[in-house]
Chains A and B, each alone.
Chain A
Amino acid sequence: MFAYAGPNLPHDLFEATGRNAGPLTWNIDRAMPAADRWLESKFAPWTRSTLQDWADGALDHLEAVVFSRADDSAQRLYYYLCELRRAGSIRGPEPLVLDIAKSPRESSIARDEVALRKLAERFGVDEAALSVAILAGNEKRAASTIEPLGEKVCLIAGSPLPDARMHRMVARSGWSAVGRTLADEWQDAGNLVDEDGDSFAALARQLHARRLDTRGFFDRSGALTDVARNSGANAAILWLIEEDDTTVWHLPAMRTALEAQGLPVMVATRRDWSCADGIDTEIAAFLAGVAS
């Protein structure tokens, strides 16, 4: 079995292997001496948990972990793990990287296709198996539904959330929360994959076009406006963690776009991913202010 870490990954290909153990999970509410020893401060917090698990042998049951090149922390962690294994400092599964190119250029799409074929070869997946998995994946995509929300909806955007803890903070104020967790991002299989023609080429085009990662080329404030509108948001929280170095560049435009929609916006930057920095009190005060 293998697991994966990062966004913008080929879930149809993973399913075709029959050995997909799903995404890595994290526990950041603990001491992590191995992470302190080898990781610098600006790495995404989940990487600390992963490195600690790796060093502790908690991932030894896996044969491999696939890291996404579409996320900077994920790809750097891949190199660190390779080196630490080479040096004998840790053991554990084989780190693999899927080289996702995102530039709006044909050569990048071709690069993605080559990367997919290489990974498929590593896992023994041929074109026929991938084609079957794409059909099954598309059926799931078509069947997915959106949970109904309450009357008062608060959109949480910015950095991916660690889990549902901020949703619960919002719920304590009598609101429904909409906001994607990191697990949501990683498990997002994306839009329908073209079922005609070469399966690897189709999957490469789908991966290249996806918008959920840190390296995609798209209008982030426009996309956020769409999410706010589609979710019927009545208020928004733009929440960015200290380690975020992507969405920070779009914060002014995102704030302007949401406010232009008439939404009250709370901006919280340089925050703690564990949410143990008083954000619960700030959210309660913000939503109380909106309600009044």
Chain B
Amino acid sequence: MSAEPTTKTSGQRSRKDLACTAAASAYQKQFGADLKRRVVDEGEPFAIVQADTPHEIFHVMGIPIITNQWWSAYISAKQLSNHYFEVMAQAGYPKNSCKYCSLGLACTLANDPKTAPWGGLPKPTVLVARMTCDCIQHVFGQWADALGSEFFPMEAPAWEHKDPRWFAHSKDQWEQVYDADRIALAVSEMRDLITLLENRTGRKFDEAKLHYLMERINEQEGYIWEAAQAIGTARPCPVSIAEQMPNTMIPQWHRGSDWAVGHARRFRDEVMERIAAGEGSATNEKIRLMWIGAGVWHDPGFYQALEERMGAVFVWSMYMPFAGPQYIREVQGRPMEALASRICSMNEVLHLPPWMNGWMTSEAERCGIDACVVLLPPENRLSQSGTKITAEALEKAGVPVLMIDADMVDAANWDHDRMVGMVAEFLQKRGLA
């Protein structure tokens, strides 16, 4: 079914200023090796899950998970994305199908162990996704069929309580912010998922363990949020988003573990040390930039490309500041409900008005943002969603916005030099450089 993979990328590596960044990457590399050993070599039960599902349940039960977005990024980092897009086209899928969530499916359908990372994934116990868009249930349903497994869909119910300042209350008033009935539905679904996992794996869920994990996650995300607040006020910005992202996301894949809590603390400390020493990501910071969208995983060096040339520093992306309002939860003696409030709107607040524009304009003000760059994947409605209204709100707040048509995992229409040049030209045209 598949031809020899071809690679195409113009991506560049990012510069690392923090010692903890290398430590996070090394941990994740070792974790990947351990995960492969457990699920591929030893056949341990595991699950394939979307990023916005309750990973905490799996952590409590000691069931390994492969997050679809992480697996997509892994495939992309191996320079295999274009190959798998071609595999899908050869199988008869239109070339404009959503790419971000379907790379894993493509890898499975290719059925080519010689090419696939880890030789391809074995049969998981279950695949879990929230139905936040129209395509995900079809991708996961077909992926489950191809792997001989089962798809466990979770609802993404309508949300009628619309508070543009949700982020100011979500930590302790989560029942009001996210709607009690939406939380109750998510809890009901999580209990069904737990039953399925217990029956299939023989492993038991312990709510007391979840309570402890939730408190540990609060501690972890508290460190990240503390660092995010400091980055917002520090001049110059001590750490570019190229390093904010891995130091937030890698611990978040392992949230609540001793390593994750410890790493978050170490990251916070290194950020604070750089602020205290007056060290900036750029030697002469002039322009503070905001990045809206998923990370451009095939070209991490993009974010630092204009630091020395124009003093333009990407100060903000969603991943790090999201730790505060969307992860930290006062448990209030109800860990399942607190967890449900974390996951039942994780995608919505990032892609729908009024939550998206409300939060991002507030964040732009908090961080002293001078201009914003928005990623607009042409074939992904969910990732596009809310960007124009948010761009208009930012412009109204005095923040110039550049929107670029590109995809976070598809390098085919991305050229590093062209994209960097586009940002530079935009900054010049808007009188910022």
Contacts and interface: CB of A to CB of B under 8 A. Distances in A.
Interface of A: 37-43, 69, 71-73, 75-76, 78-80, 82-84, 86, 97-99, 101-105, 107-108, 111, 114-115, 214-215, 217, 240, 242-243, 245-246, 248-252, 255, 269-270
B431 interface: no
B12 interface: no
B430 interface: no
A130 to B, nearest CB: 21
Given A83-B357, A111-B155, A245-B98, A215 B93 contact: no
Interface in B360-397: 376, 378-382, 384-385, 387-389, 392
A192 to B, nearest CB: 26
Given A42-B378, A80-B353, A103-B153, A252 B134 contact: no
Contacts of B354: 79, 82-83, 86
A76 B352 contact: yes
B137 A215 contact: yes
Sorted nearest first, the 10 A-B pairs with minimum C-beta distance are: A252-B92, A249-B138, A83-B353, A42-B381, A40-B384, A99-B158, A72-B134, A269-B94, A107-B188, A245-B135
A270 B131 contact: no
A38 B92 contact: no
B419 interface: no
B388 A215 contact: no
Contacts of B93: 248-249, 251-252
B154 interface: yes
Most A CB within 10 A of own CB, among B162, B381, B384? B381
A270 B95 CA distance: 9
Given A40-B388, A103-B131, A76 B381 contact: yes
B134 A214 contact: yes
A105 B196 CA distance: 13
A115 B158 CA distance: 10
Contact of A246 (B91, B138, B385): B138
Contacts of A251: 92-94
B91 A252 contact: yes
Most B CB within 10 A of own CB, among A71, A107, A115, A249? A249
A245 B99 CA distance: 11
B157 A69 contact: yes
Contacts of A245: 97-98, 133-135, 381
Contact of A105 (B91, B135, B189): B189
6 contacts: A69-B158, A76-B385, A79-B352, A82-B162, A250-B138, A251-B92
- Sorting the interface of chain B by its residue count into under 10, 10 to 19, 20 to 34 or 35 or more gives 35 or more
Given A83-B357, A99-B158, A252-B91, A38 B388 contact: yes
A19 B399 CA distance: 45
Nearest to A245: B135
Most A CB within 10 A of own CB, among B139, B188, B376? B188
Given A103-B153, A105-B192, A245-B98, A40 B134 contact: no
Contacts of A41: 378, 384
A86 B142 CA distance: 40
B381 A73 contact: yes
Contact of A103 (B155, B353, B357): B155
B139 to A, nearest CB: 6
A40 B380 CA distance: 10
A73 B160 CA distance: 17
B158 A217 contact: no
Nearest to A118: B160
Contacts of B388: 37-40
A41 B384 CA distance: 8
Contact of A215 (B98, B131, B189): B131
B134 A246 contact: yes
A102 B91 CA distance: 28
B131 A97 contact: no
Nearest to A72: B134
A86 B163 CA distance: 11
Contacts of A111: 155, 157, 185
Given A73-B381, A86-B162, A108-B155, 12 more contacts: A40-B381, A43-B381, A72-B134, A72-B382, A75-B158, A101-B157, A111-B185, A215-B131, A243-B381, A245-B381, A248-B93, A249-B142
A101 B162 CA distance: 20
A200 to B, nearest CB: 16
A40 B352 CA distance: 12
B293 to A, nearest CB: 12
B111 to A, nearest CB: 15
A38 B384 CA distance: 11
A240 B138 CA distance: 16
Contacts of A43: 381
A101 B378 contact: no
B160 A240 contact: no
B180 to A, nearest CB: 12
B96 interface: yes
Given A83-B354, A83-B357, A252-B91, A107 B192 contact: yes
A243 B138 CA distance: 16
B34 interface: no
Contact of A255 (B92, B96, B154, B181): B92
A79 B158 CA distance: 10
Contacts of A86: 162, 164, 354
B380 A249 contact: no
Given A73-B381, A269-B94, A246 B135 contact: yes
A156 to B, nearest CB: 17
A83 B141 CA distance: 33
A103 B138 contact: no
Contacts of A248: 93-94, 96-97, 135
Contacts of B141: 217
B94 A101 contact: no
Nearest to A99: B158
Contacts of B96: 242, 248, 269-270
Contacts of A82: 162, 353-354
A28 to B, nearest CB: 18
B237 to A, nearest CB: 30
Contacts of B138: 246, 249-250
Contacts of B379: 42
A97 B160 CA distance: 8
